[in-house]
Structure 1
Amino acid sequence: MLRLLILILLLANGGYFAWSHGHLREWGLAPVQEGEPQRMGQQLRPETLQILRVRPASPAPQPPVSEAAAPPVVVATAAAAATECLQSGVLDERQADAVRTAAAGLPQGSWVLESTPLPARWMVYMGRFEDQEVLDKKRAELRARKVDFDRPGGTLELGLSLGRFATEEAAKRELANLGEKGVRTARVIQERAETPGFTLRLAAVTEALRPQLDGLRGPLAGKPLRTCG
């Protein structure tokens, strides 16, 4: 069996040698030759080939931009001028009339007089004493009893205020408390009835407007302009 296999291999090798060297060409068995004539026959019309120089592509021209189609230009604007709201203390009718006259020269709409009625007020009051000597003696007595007091002001001078209150009931309660401390001659009076009042309000004061406010000092009667509450 082995000898048969070796014989077959020898015959196959001999057949391949004869085929590859063209010894079997007469019987139509030979490898295809790729000589120069065969290569020339495979070319596709070489005379038509042309060598072209490649030029770098230039950017496409941009169409002109009309003013209407131009993008909007953002212009930075200065920040709005800083403003401050100022208001006066409560003014009576006479002071309000004087302020109204003085403020007439300010820019229109820059100021307003707001109604701010003054509420009634009650006081626990001692006096009116005959003279300063009696007043000083009464002060000493109140200090000894550790009772606070103050000047009543106006036509109530040569007397003493032992407290001011928004209602009559509150003043009477305080009077009762003072009675327990030995205060016997005090009484409740109405210091002030409800009266009309006004407040000057300037909602947007700029640096340019501030110098013009100097003319209001006199009519404001010493009441300063403060930041709005």
Structure 2
Amino acid sequence: MLRAAVLVLLLANAGYYAWAQGLLRSWGWAPPEQSEPQRLEQQIQPENLRLGRANGAGTNANANGGEAPAAPATPPAPASTPAPSTSEAAPASAPPVAAAEPAPCLQAGTFEKGQLDALRTATAGLPAGSWTLEPISLTGRWMVYMGRFADEDTLEKKRAELRARKVPYDRPGAALEPGLSLGRFSTEEAAERALATLGTQGVRTARVVQERTDATGYVLRLPAATAALRTQAEGQLRGLLASRPFRACG
């Protein structure tokens, strides 16, 4: 009984396979044909199909089967306006004018109290407000000094000796003329040390003197010294500026 059932199942599977593969088509037993040629044969007037717009503005075909009207062509973009040439652009601006530099501040000094009258007389011709005299505190000062000499020949002989020994010197100032200054110092001790050093160089007749005591000095200041003002001041103060030339304000 079991063998008969197995045999029936085998025959049934073999028959279904033959039917599905079209092996029994000649006997009229076969599944419907689903290949592409049969689908194309079922189409109705496929040549009238046209692609339409996605928003539905157009139709695939007219009612009579004609073609849908073509969408209007997009108008050409207008030609861009050519950029103006460099010569047609905005006129070039004039080169910037350099700002004038402010006149520098210059000063000369220090002048002693006894020179104030001479300073005021010399500066009387300068423009009003162009100069000031500013007081400063002066501490005492000492000098290594040679002099006073009897005459100009003796003074020149001492100068030659100092040049031979390579010892620098300077004028000591009107109060100690004729003589020679071998150095100025802010303390007496510093002046004495300098004198001892000069002794090792063969200087024998120098000594330490106090050039000035604690006092008040004065500085002549030109806050805005133009070239013209400086020239005028140097001309009018020629004698007073001999050893005190103008320098930048400190």
TM-score (norm 2): 0.50
List runs of 5+ in structure 1 lacking aligned partners: 22-29, 37-41, 59-73
State the shift of 1:134 in Å. Answer: 5.1
Q: Secondary structure at the match of 1:80?
A: coil
Structure 2 residue corresponding to 1:82, chosen from 79, 101, 123: 101
Aligned to 1:101: 124
Q: How does 1:59-138 map to 2 (within 5 A)?
A: 78-90=97-109, 92=111, 93-94=116-117, 96-98=119-121, 101-105=124-128, 112-117=132-137, 119-132=139-152, 135=155
2:187 matches 1:167: yes
Question: Residues 43 and 212 of structure 1: is their aligned pair in 2 closer, same or farther, counting only changes over 3 Å?
Answer: same
Partner of 1:190, secondary structure, is strand
For residue 198 of structure 1, the aligned residue among 219, 223, 237 is 219
How much is the aligned-residue C-alpha RMSD, in angstroms?
5.2
> Distance between the aligned counterparts of 1:186 and 1:32, measured in 2?
137
Query: Can you give the 5+ residue segments of structure 2 that lack an aligned partner in the other structure?
Result: 1-13, 48-60, 79-92
C-alpha spacing 1:79/1:112, structure 2 compared with 1 (3 Å): farther
Q: Give the count of matched residue pairs.
A: 195
Q: Does 1:9 align with 2:32?
A: no
Could you give the per-residue CA deviations for residues 125-167 of structure 1, whole angstroms, max 9, x where no partner exists?
Answer: 2332434565566667767877655443424234343332222
Q: Does 1:156 align with 2:176?
A: yes
- Percent of aligned pairs sharing the same letter: 40
CA drift of 1:35 comes to 8.9
What is the rounded CA distance, in whole Å, between the counterparts of 2:99 and 2:163 in structure 1?
Answer: 58
* 1:29-62 Cα deviation digits (max 9, x unpaired): x9464499xxxxx75799xx8987876799xxxx
Q: State yes or no: 1:219 paired with 2:242.
A: no
- Name the aligned partner's letter for residue 80 of structure 1: A
Distance in structure 2 (CA, Å) of the matches to 1:175 and 1:95: 35
How far, CA to CA, are the matches of 1:213 and 1:147 in structure 2? 35
Structure with higher RCO (Cα < 8 A, 6+ apart):
1
Q: Distance in 2 between matches of 1:214 and 1:146?
A: 36
Deviation at 1:190, TM superposition (A): 1.7
Shift in Å, 1:196: 1.5
The structure-2 alpha-carbon separation of the partners of 1:32 and 1:103, relative to structure 1 and needing over 3 Å to count, comes to same
- 1:168 to partner: Cα distance: 1.8
